[in-house]
Every structure is written in C-alpha cells, then in structure tokens.
C-alpha cells in the first residue's frame, strides 16, 4: 500500500485562490520525500489536505488507504505533524508537554513518559526536560515539536518547514533525526521546505511545486536528466581568451561540459591562449539549478 496518494488533488480557497492545482503523486512507505517550492507554492495547503484539516475541492487523497477529510482521527493516529508554528503549552515543561500529547493519542502516563524521555534524549533536550516551554529557544521548541509528533510512533511524518528559523546547527540536528528515523524505523517522511539546499541533503525523491502545480518529480538523477543539463565547470581565470567564454566581473566563468574528461583539454586551451588559471572545479546541477531551469526563474529562493 502507498503511504500517500493524491489523484488530481485541487484546493480552491473561499476567495477563489487555487492553492493546489491537480496534483497527482504517490509516496511509497519509507520514502523521504521533499515537497519543494517557494512561499505560496501550495505546500502547506497540501499538508492540510493530507491531514484532513481541509477538504479537497476536486480530486482525492489518501494516507495509508484512509481518506483524511472523512476519517481525520484515523489519519492522525498514523501520522505526526510538525508545522512552522507548533502548538504546545508554554506553561508546561518539555516532558509535561510530551506526556500531555501522549495522552491525546491514548498513551498512559508511564508509557508517554518513557517515550518522551527517549525522544528528549535523542533530540538533545534531556537537560531541558523540566524547563517550561516559555523559556525554550526557537531551535529547542522546534525539536520538542518533532518529539511531540513522534510520541505515538507514527508511520508517517509531515514536516512543514521544520527548520525555518533555526540556526544551522539546530537544523543539522533536525536533519540527522529525520535521517535516523527513516533508516532505523522505516518511517515515511513528507518534508515541505523552500530551502532546496537543505532538502538535497536528506531526501530520496522530490516533488517541485510552483503556483500550486507539481512541475516535476523524481530522484535527483532523474530530475537532472529531465532538464538535460550536464556538468558545469567553474573556472577562475585572468585574461580569459574572449572566444572561449564571455567576460564576467570577477574573472569567474561557468561553462557547460559533458563530462570531467573534457576538463584537461579545456585547461590546456585556455592556458595555451594566454589565460591564467587560478581555480577549476566541476559541479552537477543542484536542485535549485533544476528548479530555476524548469520555472525559468533566475532569482534565488530566500534561504
């Protein structure tokens, strides 16, 4: 059974905004799926549809075979959700919050506490277990939110911008936890983020969203071959022969190549024509490069 299926899933908000536009996609169990796109692309709306917080305007979706808007409590029993603004109680301590959310999912206090302590340990929050949430930093809150989402051992995690507002070290922490969960527990992860660079480090497959539409999906290799973009070689050269590359402001050049085997000849050509080479490196197109190629947009996504 698929962990998630979406069939021509669409959502039009009351004001007429089509936030999700005929998205069809399925996720196998155990995948770490990156659902990517800039703000406004329709990611959060999709997560809400998958959790039964919103009903589809057209099309359908299911999570482990269950229709979320008809059986939200059944979907919630199988899933953990981390959103940008986690709802937890400021006046309760870390462990008290986890015990409370354990009870919401029907766990007894002893079991919630045991699971809660394990999760706090894994997320490096043990020292703060008796500290009230009000005194937690953003990074600590986000990690506690992840612990809360995991308290009932869900089979799928929906993570909506889980590292937004985190410093790089806390973001790394959250990423290692996601990797570990998928490797050790086979948990399926649906990760929404506009930080394409981060996603590239942890996901097994990607869906690229733009203005509500799924414009491409696949592994990084599949997406790279889809845009037919090969390698790029990056060079820093003074006095670059003008027939080899256009002049740039800071003497750096990016040229397309088919494979690394072309580099020695290129270097010889440049040096032979009087160019002075300071730096050479090759790179494959990143998810950002792929996204911008497919959407025709050049500007950077906010990081």
Ligand X SMILES: Nc1ncnc2c1ncn2[C@@H]1O[C@H](COP(=O)(O)OP(=O)(O)O)[C@@H](O)[C@H]1O
Residues near Mg ion, by CB under 5 A = 43-44
Q: Among residues 10 and 293, whose Cβ is nearest to ligand X? A: 10
**DSSP state for residue 128 in the 8-state scheme:** G
Euclidean distance between the first and final Cα of the chain, in Å? Answer: 35
Q: How far is the CB of 50 from ligand X (least distance, A)?
A: 12
Q: How far is the CB of 41 from Mg ion (least distance, A)?
A: 8
Question: Which positions lie near ligand X, rule CB under 6 A?
Answer: 13, 15, 17, 19, 37, 39-45
Cβ proximity of 208 and 215 under 8 Å: yes
Q: Among residues 43 and 115, whose Cβ is nearest to ligand X? A: 43
42 interacts with, out of Mg ion, ligand X, none, CB within 5 to 8 A per kind: ligand X
From the DSSP assignment, how many helices (H) and strands (E) are in the chain?
A: 10, 12
Which residue is at the shortest CB distance from Mg ion? Answer: 44
Please name the residue that has the structure tokens 């937004």.
164
Quick one: which of 88, 6, 87, 2 has its CA closest to 43?
A: 6
Q: Among residues 68 and 102, whose Cβ is nearest to ligand X? A: 68
Q: How far is the CB of 160 from ligand X (least distance, A)?
A: 7
Residues comprising the chain, all counted: 303
Q: Among residues 203 and 233, whose Cβ is nearest to ligand X? A: 203
Q: Among residues 6 and 240, whose Cβ is nearest to ligand X? A: 6
Q: Count the neighbouring beta carbons within 10 Å of the beta carbon of residue 168.
A: 9
Quick one: which of 207, 233, 227, 231 has its CA closest to 218?
A: 207
Q: How far apart are CA 18 and CA 260, in angstroms?
A: 44
Q: How far is the CB of 39 from Mg ion (least distance, A)?
A: 7
Q: How far is the CB of 40 from ligand X (least distance, A)?
A: 4
230 interacts with, out of Mg ion, ligand X, none, CB within 5 to 8 A per kind: none
């Amino acid at each position: 059974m698929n962990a998630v299926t979406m069939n021509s899933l669409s959502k039009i908000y009351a004001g007429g905004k089509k936030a999700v536009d005929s998205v069809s996609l399925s996720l196998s169990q155990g995948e770490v799926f990156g659902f990517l796109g800039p703000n406004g692309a329709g990611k959060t709306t999709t997560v809400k549809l998958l959790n039964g917080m919103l009903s589809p305007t057209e099309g359908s979706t299911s999570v482990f075979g269950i229709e979320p808007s008809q059986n939200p409590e059944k979907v919630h029993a199988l899933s953990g959700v981390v959103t940008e603004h986690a709802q937890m109680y400021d006046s309760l301590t870390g462990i008290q919050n986890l015990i409370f959310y354990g009870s919401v999912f029907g766990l007894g206090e002893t079991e919630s506490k045991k699971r809660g302590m394990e999760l706090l340990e894994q997320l490096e929050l043990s020292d703060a277990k008796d500290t009230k949430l009000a005194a937690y930093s953003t990074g600590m809150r986000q990690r506690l939110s992840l612990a809360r989402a995991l308290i009932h051992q869900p089979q799928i995690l929906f993570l909506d911008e889980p590292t937004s507002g985190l410093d790089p070290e806390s973001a790394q922490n959250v990423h290692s936890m996601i990797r570990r969960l998928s490797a050790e527990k086979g948990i399926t992860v649906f990760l929404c983020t506009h930080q394409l660079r981060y996603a590239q480090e942890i996901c097994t497959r990607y869906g690229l969203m733009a203005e509500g539409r799924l414009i491409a999906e696949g592994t990084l290799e599949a997406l790279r071959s889809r845009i037919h973009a090969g390698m790029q070689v990056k060079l820093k050269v003074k006095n670059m022969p003008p027939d080899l590359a256009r002049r740039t402001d800071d003497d750096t050049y990016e040229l397309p190549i088919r494979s690394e085997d072309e580099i020695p000849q290129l270097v010889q050509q440049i040096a032979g024509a009087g160019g002075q080479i300071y730096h050479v490196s090759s790179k494959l197109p990143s998810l950002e490069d792929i996204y911008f190629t497919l959407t025709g947009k050049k500007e950077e996504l906010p990081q």
